[in-house]
């Protein structure tokens, strides 16, 4: 029954969109560019409240509410590593009233190693890239290294057992570690955790020696001297760690791993609404207050066109498909 209702609603929305394009007023062009939005918008965050994607969703919601006079309701639908909330958005009517915060993990990584009930490209309309968060290659302070080159050499010494932590098999932090091994020949054993928080706790405690950690989670421990930052995973240095080189600068050319977020809508969203959402969210992320807030938290503000974001997603899928194929990650 649920599937039939979804099909009916999407067919109805598609006919309405076609009517708008053809100028058939008799069909009621209720969500054309001029009228939209006429009711509250649901912005799904497929994670628990408090995480990076949810925080950014609330920034966007507040800004759009103030700009349009319509409520933007952030709906946290956690579960399945982001799959549950993302599927809800994929199956929603493409009328601009259901959006979803997408991340590299939910849209790119999950479909590569598990069966998900949506296609990351065909089932969505790209709206805008919102932020990029670096990972930081850190070590426990007891590890006798101070640079990426030191870490690689240390890992290759006879008798050395070097473990690296991740927030779970198939996550960005795991793939970053595997890409690092592929790119450098370093020998490290993967230790998966059920989340980034637990991985960081064990890194600080010295139970594991190294790992790629979200900069927001790593920064307090690096500043307190409990962890040593060797490099950031992005192509440019982070504003909150300006003295820490990139992995590429530290001797691994071409290395780049980011945890990014962006806004998607169900496939078939009318171009006028896509353009309006893109323009307003871009305006939000261009404001000095928003940029300062994100940069202070370790995130780099996003922006750009829907086409740029769609291209970015396809590029990321191609890149990580190669890595997953190389490490022979089993599908779940």
pLDDT tens-place string over residues 171-193: 889 899 999 999 999 999 999 98
Rg (CA), the chain: 21
Identify the domain containing residue 142 by its residue range.
134-232
Q: Report if residue 304 sits inside a domain.
A: yes
Q: How far apart are CA 202 and CA 221, in angstroms?
A: 12
Distances (CA, A) of 184 to 55, 160, 178, 323, 328: 35, 16, 10, 14, 18
Residues 208 and 66 in one domain: no
Residues 114 and 162 in one domain: no
- Residues in a beta bridge with 260: 132
**CB count, 10 Å around CB of 286?**
11
Task: Tell me the CA end-to-end span of the chain in Å, nearest whole number.
Answer: 28
Residues 125 and 149 in one domain: no
Q: Report if residue 124 sits inside a domain.
A: yes
Residues 229 and 135 sit within 8 Å (Cβ to Cβ): no
Residues 128 and 139 in one domain: no
Residues 145 and 127 in one domain: no
Q: Report if residue 250 sits inside a domain.
A: no
Q: Report if residue 56 sits inside a domain.
A: yes
Residues 182 and 254 sit within 8 Å (Cβ to Cβ): no
How confident is the model at residue 163, as a pLDDT?
97
Q: How far apart are CA 242 and CA 260, in angstroms?
A: 20
Residue 223: CATH number of its domain: 3.40.190.10
How confident is the model at residue 297, as a pLDDT?
75
Q: What is the DSSP letter of 302?
A: -
How confident is the model at residue 31, as a pLDDT?
43
Q: Give start and end residues of each alpha helix (H) in 124-214.
A: 148-155, 172-184, 196-205
Residues 121 and 138 in one domain: no
Q: Report if residue 274 sits inside a domain.
A: yes
Residues 221 and 278 in one domain: no
Q: Report if residue 246 sits inside a domain.
A: no
Residues 45 and 126 in one domain: yes
Tell me how many domains the chain contains.
2
Residues 85 and 44 sit within 8 Å (Cβ to Cβ): yes
Q: Report if residue 240 sits inside a domain.
A: no
Q: Which of 197, 232, 267 is the last residue of a domain?
A: 232
How confident is the model at residue 330, as a pLDDT?
61
In a structure prediction context, what are the per-residue pLDDT tens digits for the chain, which is 332 residues long? 445 444 544 554 455 445 444 443 333 344 455 689 999 999 999 887 766 778 889 989 999 999 999 999 999 998 887 899 999 999 999 999 999 999 998 999 889 888 999 999 999 999 999 998 899 999 999 999 999 999 999 999 999 999 999 988 778 898 999 999 999 999 999 999 877 888 999 999 999 999 999 888 898 999 999 999 999 999 999 988 999 999 999 999 999 998 899 999 999 999 999 999 999 999 998 889 888 888 887 788 899 999 999 999 999 999 888 888 877 666 65
Q: Which of 166, 197, 232 is the last residue of a domain?
A: 232
Q: Report if residue 247 sits inside a domain.
A: no
Residues 123 and 13 in one domain: yes
Q: Which of 213, 232, 251 is the last residue of a domain?
A: 232
Residues 212 and 269 in one domain: no
Residues 58 and 154 in one domain: no
How confident is the model at residue 5, as a pLDDT?
42
**CB count, 10 Å around CB of 187?**
14
Residues 25 and 128 in one domain: yes
Query: pLDDT tens for residues 103-124?
Result: 998 999 889 888 999 999 999 9
Residue 44: CATH number of its domain: 3.40.190.150
């Amino acid at each position: 029954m649920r599937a039939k209702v979804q099909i009916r609603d999407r067919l109805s929305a598609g006919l309405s969109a076609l009517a708008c394009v053809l100028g058939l007023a008799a069909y009621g062009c209720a969500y054309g560019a001029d009228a939209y939005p006429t009711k509250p918008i649901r912005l799904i965050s497929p994670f628990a409240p408090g995480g990076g994607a949810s925080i950014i969703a609330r920034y966007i919601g507040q800004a759009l509410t103030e700009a349009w006079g319509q409520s933007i309701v952030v709906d946290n639908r956690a579960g399945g590593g982001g799959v549950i909330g993302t599927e809800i958005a994929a199956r929603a009517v493409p009328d601009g009233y259901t959006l979803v915060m997408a991340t590299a993990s939910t849209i790119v990584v999950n479909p590569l190693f598990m069966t998900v009930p949506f296609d990351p490209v065909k089932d969505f309309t790209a709206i805008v890239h919102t932020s990029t968060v670096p990972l930081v290659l850190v070590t426990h302070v007891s590890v006798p290294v101070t640079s990426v080159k030191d870490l690689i050499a240390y890992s290759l010494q006879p008798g050395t057992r070097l473990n690296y932590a991740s927030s779970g098999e198939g996550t960005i932090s795991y793939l970053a570690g595997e890409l690092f091994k592929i790119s450098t020949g370093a020998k490290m054993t993967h230790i998966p955790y059920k989340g980034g928080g637990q991985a960081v706790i064990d890194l600080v405690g010295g139970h594991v020696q190294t790992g790629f950690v979200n900069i927001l989670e790593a920064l307090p421990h690096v500043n307190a001297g409990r962890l040593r930052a060797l490099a950031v995973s992005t192509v440019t240095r982070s504003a909150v760690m300006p003295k820490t080189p990139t992995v590429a600068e530290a001797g691994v050319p071409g290395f780049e791993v980011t945890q990014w977020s962006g806004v998607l809508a169900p496939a078939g969203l009318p171009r006028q609404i896509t353009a309006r959402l893109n323009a307003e969210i871009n305006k939000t992320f261009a404001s000095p207050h928003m940029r300062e807030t994100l940069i202070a938290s370790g995130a780099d503000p996003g922006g750009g066109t829907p086409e740029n974001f769609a291209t970015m997603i396809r590029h990321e899928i191609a890149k990580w498909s190669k890595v997953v194929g190389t490490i022979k990650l089993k599908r779940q």
